[in-house]
Amino acid sequence: MENRDYKVERRETKRDSGKVMSTFIKYAAYLIIFFGVIWFLINYLLPMFQG
């Protein structure tokens, strides 16, 4: 019988906090831009069509 070496891969359960934070900032920026565009449409473009 052969001598087989099995390597056990250890996975860290701890997340990289820097990566999580940068993802949070990215999506927060997307939301701010989205709501800014919605606010612009409501306040400036919508009254043009009502008048």
Q: What is the three-state SS of 1-21?
A: CCCCCCCCCCCCCCCCHHHHH
Q: What whole-number distance in Å separates Cα of residue 29 and Cα of residue 39?
A: 15
Q: Quick: pLDDT tens for 3-30.
A: 777 777 777 666 689 999 999 999 999 9
Task: Decide if pLDDT at 51 tops 80.
Answer: no
Average pLDDT in the 39-45 region?
A: 93
Q: Which residue has the higher pLDDT, 7 or 41?
A: 41
Whether the model clears a pTM of 0.85, i.e. scores above it, the answer is: no
